[in-house]
Structure 1
Amino acid sequence: MASPENKVVSLRPDAPMVVPDRPCWGVYENWVTNEKSRRLRPGVYWHGFKRSGADDETDEDKTDRPIIDEWIATPVTVAARTTNSEDGSEGRFLRLATESGTKEWIIPMEVFGGSGEDARRQLFGMGVIIALKKRGQFMEYLLDQRPDQVFATTCRPGWHESGAFVLPGRTIGSDKVRYQASGKGQNLFSLRGDLEGWKIEVAAKCEGNPVLTLAIGCALAGPLLSLVGVLGGGVHLVGDSSSGKSLAQLIASSIWGDPGIFAASWDMTKGGLEIEASGRNDTMLPLDEIKRADPKRVQEMAYSLANGQGKGTMTREREGRAKLSWRLLTLSSGERSLSEHAAIGGNSAHAGAELRMVDVNAGTRAERAFDKLHGLAGADFHRLLTVAVGAHHGHIGPAFVEKLLASNDRPGLLKDFADVRAKFTEDNAQAGRVADRFAVIALAAEMAITYGLLPWTQGSALADCQLLYSEWLDRVGSGNAEDRQILAGIVDFIDKHGSSRFSNVDDQTVDAKVFNRAGYWELVGTKRLYLFNKSALTEAASGYGLSRVVKALEGAGALAKRDTDRDSRKTKKYRIPGGGSPRLYVIDSEAIDGEGGSV
């Protein structure tokens, strides 16, 4: 290939003639012959004249001077100018002809403000060879190019503002948008094997296994989230060690790339987690082994993943760096639930965090995490699928997006989601958010079945998601999640401290054995009512304000007595042993148990 300044006259197929408009640059991807019949190997050239040394040289004299063809580098063509969609920064789109094949790379214009050493180092790493004494001239060549074509670039995978879906090395839906790598990180979205092999050896074995079909649907649902208006979040596979949770994550990871690279771990900082999430935007983030996460920060990390917004930071010049952002579903796993792991660090469970990372039973099914082994022993089933996802991966995710873009039916997609969502019932807004998540997972899997990408019976993926959603509802019960958490905390507090921090309010003498008093108790018939002081009540429902705790107790009908001298009274005045008449909150723990507070 020659640069636009040159004329190429084909003399013979293996070495066409070029007639450069000297002085100029030239780029050739094959052998060529110059106007003096000198053969030139492929590469970037400076076509000029030898210097005569005369100061009064005329243009006519120059045409008679000996010509020179300086080899600068292996073929590097500046094919387009680029503009980054996130920050507006410009670059150049390079096409590299290397011994291992043609490659693409985007060089930021900012590198020309320095020596360009880092850029040349990366080019060498990709197979480009630059003459050592021509390094500066090579940078001049790149800077001199002014191609007419302009590409948009982005450093984040997923949906682009143009409507294209961008992946490293591939853009679906546009030939004018490219992914711009920000460093030397591994390519998460690699390909191996083929789609048919994955369908036969992996997907077919997953049918009849709700945990596995959920994992696949979770991976495919990423591109749908923004299109149907569902917020991010995740599902957390809970089960004993070696139950099959990790296999589900490997299978889900194979939707987009090499499972060994695409899958991530909870064992990282919150900042690292944000980078991993942003690097998988509009796809899925698999996080293995929650026990590796910091118990003190795991709930905060769950909130961050679901909200899709990283923490703002500043440069040394005190300028704000752009926040990382993403929208995806997280597929987590662990032997403990999110709240159980947080409790290890001394933190009480936050209902909001648990709703953003919903527990799914992946340990006590018919075959631990599985329901159907397709005639195989458990170990053989696990081994067969593990080998299969290593041999075939990275195909179905992009194929799903291709089909989605080809259908180009946003109204129809919204209607389909509404139809599926109607099959997931809920009794409050919080359960509704979880229902949204299960519904979009089911929709993605059912769409893939319709597209012919999953060899499953139509409706089977929806039935599996409905089953797992109903199991979740049965575990957590109905009603508001914060109410359940508050009531459970109060019941636990009574179980732990009922005999050590409470005493009979009708005793005539002070019970000296009670330290750090939480209140009193009184018998009404055969029922014991607990009379909490204000500080103990907020201690029992750690993380919630007093008014919120009282609201939950009222909703459960657990405030057994109150004074009636004022409508707003929630307390009752008692005369206590040793003197004094404090106002106390009178709680019927049996009423709380009836509301599911002990769950």
Structure 2
Amino acid sequence: MSTDLDRLKNPDSVPAVGAEATPDAEEKAAPAKPAKAPRKRAAAKVSGGKFKLNDKGVWFVEDASEDGTDGGDKWLGDFLEIVAQVRDIEESEFAVRVRFKNMDGNIKELTIPREKISSDQSTAVLDSYLSKSGYVFSYAMASKRLLLQYLQAGLNAPRARLVARTGWYQETSAFVLPAEVIGDAGEWLIYDGSLKVPVMAAGAAAAWRDGVSRYAVGNPLLMLTLGAGFAAPLIAWSSIDTGGFHFVGASKKGKSTICDMAASIYGKPNDYRQTWNNTATALEYTTAAFNHLPLLIDEISQAEERGISKAVYALSQGKGKGRGKDTGGLRDLTRWGCFILSNGEEALSNVIKRGGGKVNAGQEVRFIELSADRKSGAFDDLHGFSDASAMCKSMALTANEHHGMIGRDYLNKLAAADRSAFKGLIHDAMDKFKREAVPAGASGQASHVAQYFALCGFAGELATSYGLTGWETGSAWTAAKWMYADWLRGRGGAGDGEDMQIIKQVQHFFEQHGMARFHGWNDEENTTFDEKSAKTLARCGFRKTIELHPDGDTAVKLSDTDFYVFPNSWSNDVLAGVDLKRANKVLLDRGILRPDSKGKPQWSGRIPSSGRTKVRMYVLNAAALMGAYDE
């Protein structure tokens, strides 16, 4: 595409974008190392002796011991190494990071808060932390006290920072993953999140391109979804809220598969995928764990119906609830920014309504609903496969064996890039997308949604410029514009969602009650009932129908109907739960409400049973209402 994105192909035009793309980038990125190499540590000393660590465990060597051999030392427990003295980002809590061998012989790591090992009763920490995790130690009280002293005395261990979430660390070039840190933070970072995000790499990048990425050509929905995978690390540089796409479609047509393919950029899909079948609190912590990564939440029908509405808002806020500490005060708020990919056979609005909630436009612009029912399931081009299922199976097999390599290469290139330059490029891309794809006069909501499509298009083009996708330049950008246009069509236009919901509510009311709750009124003097009209229950007003001249040469009779609605029925029944002033303006602007001579929303005149008295009524034209929004 002819945009500033093309500059990414020229390393001289953007500061520190990174090395030229290599289409066969198969090598794994080297795991990140501490900014400063840990210094050699002497054995920790305490009164009466010192500690020794070897493959057989932790030992206490008394000062009186002559040779210090195992036979003459006191065994305290199995292998237990003090890896680092750590603290959190705010330096409000300090801890000891240990590596130990559990009962199965596996090496594990654990963080033990220093407050747990500093009191007279701290030997209990050995049970609640180490023994619980499978570590074997001497249960003699003297030995337990010595082992606790070993933990307390390791102050000369390297210093490190605990990071509770994945993603970019503050304003540095370091991207934190559970098993490594890509880029440099200027200090040693250790991931210590509550959820170990399954980011992993296996297989070959070229095999992923040949078996997954190439099938996105001719399939704009799949290309957009892969673009969302590449867009997730850019969320922090784009200033847009956490949000994403919700794909709706029939079962076994590929909607879950396209989400899985986005996951395969960073890990194995079956392990990476999450579920809606969680409490709001669990979803909060899950979202935080996938900070600056794509979050896949599968099958919305499994969501807790009563809480789904609040959950959508909560996830988009980028921060969790305030919660108290056990020791008093408030915990730091959980924060995140990620690109969410959800799917299900049901629309988000249906699940919310079934739980007794009301659908708001704010939810629809955070979880952008896209249909996964295209020419062949979620696809337009089957690339020679017999059906969508066969292509999905092929991609799934490839992703199962070849995953994560592309993501590691992508993150390494981003870590080497100039963040400020990228922020400018992303801003320019969003402006360009708005000029090219957003209709003139579009609402703020439609413009807001466009940012997510723009970021996906930008990210897809960026990955292509790095040689990671195999797509032609401009393909991802074009796919993003196509899918945005599809979203606008499905939504009914670029207006505010609240306005469309008002029109849909009024349409629904008259579709159900246009005959039953409005009495016929067809006399020329406009003062008497139509006695032949069907019996009216719970009356809301009157219905006046006039015949129109036949259309063209046809003999088909045409008619037009106006509904005269009592003011109380208008506000309490037709527009129940809606802002009356806003609704009247929307309906007047669209020609659905007939204004009086001064442009006011209420007509004034005589109606049946009002005698000579003029009354105020709302007059609604059925033809204008029916043509206002065609889903």
**TM-score when scaled to structure 2?**
0.79
Q: 2 CA distance for matches of 1:70 and 1:188?
A: 40
What do residues 358-406 of structure 1 show as CA deviations (whole Å, max 9, x unaligned)? 22221222x2112223322333322222222222233333332211111
Are 2:176 and 1:143 equivalent residues in the alignment? no
Following superposition, the deviation at residue 100 of structure 1 comes to 6.7
Q: Which secondary structure does the structure 2 equivalent of 1:212 belong to?
A: helix
Following superposition, the deviation at residue 49 of structure 1 comes to 3.5
Does structure 2 conserve the Cα–Cα contact (< 8 Å) formed by 1:519 and 1:536? Answer: no
Give the corresponding residue for 1:56.
none
Amino acid at match of 2:482: L
Give the corresponding residue for 1:498.
514
Following superposition, the deviation at residue 179 of structure 1 comes to 4.0
The 5 A counterparts of 1:264-283 are 264-283=274-293
Following superposition, the deviation at residue 493 of structure 1 comes to 0.9
Q: Which secondary structure does the structure 1 equivalent of 2:619 belong to?
A: strand
Are 2:41 and 1:4 equivalent residues in the alignment? yes
Q: 1:25 aligns with which of 27, 42, 50?
A: 50
Following superposition, the deviation at residue 517 of structure 1 comes to 3.1
The 5 A counterparts of 1:159-558 are 159-163=168-172, 164-174=174-184, 176-183=187-194, 185-314=195-324, 319-345=329-355, 347-365=357-375, 367-378=376-387, 379-419=389-429, 421-424=431-434, 425-426=437-438, 427-476=442-491, 477-504=493-520, 506=526, 508=528, 513-523=535-545, 526-532=559-565, 533-537=567-571, 539-558=573-592
Amino acid at match of 1:376: F
TM-aligned CA distance change 1:466 to 1:502, over 3 Å: same
Does structure 1 conserve the Cα–Cα contact (< 8 Å) formed by 2:159 and 2:188? Answer: no
What do residues 492-547 of structure 1 show as CA deviations (whole Å, max 9, x unaligned)? 21111111122246463699943333333334775322233345445434542111
Q: Which secondary structure does the structure 1 equivalent of 2:336 belong to?
A: coil
CA RMSD of aligned residues (A): 3.4
TM-aligned CA distance change 1:93 to 1:463, over 3 Å: same
TM-aligned CA distance change 1:216 to 1:470, over 3 Å: same
Following superposition, the deviation at residue 245 of structure 1 comes to 0.8
Q: 1 CA distance for matches of 2:113 and 2:237?
A: 32
Q: 1 CA distance for matches of 2:309 and 2:295?
A: 16
What do residues 173-207 of structure 1 show as CA deviations (whole Å, max 9, x unaligned)? 23624344355x55432343343443333323333
Give the corresponding residue for 1:13.
none
Residue range with higher mean Cα deviation, 356-365 or 290-299: 290-299
Following superposition, the deviation at residue 214 of structure 1 comes to 1.7
Are 2:116 and 1:111 equivalent residues in the alignment? yes
What do residues 300-337 of structure 1 show as CA deviations (whole Å, max 9, x unaligned)? 32222222233334467774444332211211112222
Residue range with higher mean Cα deviation, 396-405 or 514-523: 514-523
Are 2:618 and 1:585 equivalent residues in the alignment? yes
Give the corresponding residue for 1:572.
603
Q: 2 CA distance for matches of 1:493 and 1:47?
A: 86
Question: Relative contact order (alpha carbons < 8 A, sep ≥ 6): 1 or 2 greater?
Answer: 2
TM-aligned CA distance change 1:147 to 1:587, over 3 Å: farther
Amino acid at match of 1:590: A
Q: Which secondary structure does the structure 1 equivalent of 2:594 belong to?
A: strand
Following superposition, the deviation at residue 278 of structure 1 comes to 1.2
Residue range with higher mean Cα deviation, 192-201 or 385-394: 192-201
Amino acid at match of 2:280: K
Does structure 1 conserve the Cα–Cα contact (< 8 Å) formed by 2:227 and 2:460? Answer: yes
Q: Which secondary structure does the structure 2 equivalent of 1:559 belong to?
A: coil
Q: 2 CA distance for matches of 1:211 and 1:490?
A: 33
TM-aligned CA distance change 1:3 to 1:149, over 3 Å: closer
TM-aligned CA distance change 1:221 to 1:24, over 3 Å: farther
Amino acid at match of 1:168: P
Give the corresponding residue for 1:43.
57
Q: 2 CA distance for matches of 1:177 and 1:155?
A: 14
Q: Which secondary structure does the structure 2 equivalent of 1:423 belong to?
A: helix
TM-aligned CA distance change 1:345 to 1:77, over 3 Å: closer
Amino acid at match of 2:50: W
Does structure 2 conserve the Cα–Cα contact (< 8 Å) formed by 1:417 and 1:439? Answer: no
Q: 2 CA distance for matches of 1:555 and 1:317?
A: 58
Q: 1 CA distance for matches of 2:620 and 2:230?
A: 48
Following superposition, the deviation at residue 23 of structure 1 comes to 4.5
Contiguous gaps of at least 5 residues in structure 1: 8-19, 30-40, 52-61
Amino acid at match of 1:130: F
Residue range with higher mean Cα deviation, 409-418 or 228-237: 409-418
Q: 2 CA distance for matches of 1:259 and 1:253?
A: 5
Residue range with higher mean Cα deviation, 249-258 or 487-496: 249-258
Q: 2 CA distance for matches of 1:232 and 1:204?
A: 28
Does structure 2 conserve the Cα–Cα contact (< 8 Å) formed by 1:27 and 1:75? Answer: no
Q: 1 CA distance for matches of 2:51 and 2:203?
A: 39
Q: 2 CA distance for matches of 1:300 and 1:581?
A: 47
Q: 2:161 aligns with which of 152, 166, 183?
A: 152
Amino acid at match of 2:459: A
Q: Which secondary structure does the structure 1 equivalent of 2:322 belong to?
A: coil
Residue range with higher mean Cα deviation, 476-485 or 276-285: 476-485
Following superposition, the deviation at residue 86 of structure 1 comes to 5.5
Q: Which secondary structure does the structure 2 equivalent of 1:499 belong to?
A: coil
Does structure 1 conserve the Cα–Cα contact (< 8 Å) formed by 2:298 and 2:343? Answer: yes
Q: 2 CA distance for matches of 1:43 and 1:195?
A: 42
Amino acid at match of 1:508: T
Residue range with higher mean Cα deviation, 378-387 or 233-242: 378-387
TM-aligned CA distance change 1:483 to 1:192, over 3 Å: same
Q: 2 CA distance for matches of 1:3 and 1:101?
A: 25
**TM-score when scaled to structure 1?**
0.83
Residue range with higher mean Cα deviation, 241-250 or 551-560: 551-560
Identity among equivalent pairs (%): 26
Q: Which secondary structure does the structure 1 equivalent of 2:129 belong to?
A: helix
Does structure 2 conserve the Cα–Cα contact (< 8 Å) formed by 1:3 and 1:27? Answer: no
TM-aligned CA distance change 1:141 to 1:316, over 3 Å: closer
Does structure 2 conserve the Cα–Cα contact (< 8 Å) formed by 1:23 and 1:46? Answer: no
Q: Which secondary structure does the structure 2 equivalent of 1:236 belong to?
A: strand
Give the corresponding residue for 1:35.
none
Following superposition, the deviation at residue 132 of structure 1 comes to 4.0
TM-aligned CA distance change 1:408 to 1:527, over 3 Å: same
Q: 2:86 aligns with which of 82, 85, 94?
A: 82
Does structure 2 conserve the Cα–Cα contact (< 8 Å) formed by 1:2 and 1:27? Answer: no
What do residues 189-236 of structure 1 show as CA deviations (whole Å, max 9, x unaligned)? 234334344333332333332222222211221110120222221111
Q: 2 CA distance for matches of 1:316 and 1:145?
A: 27
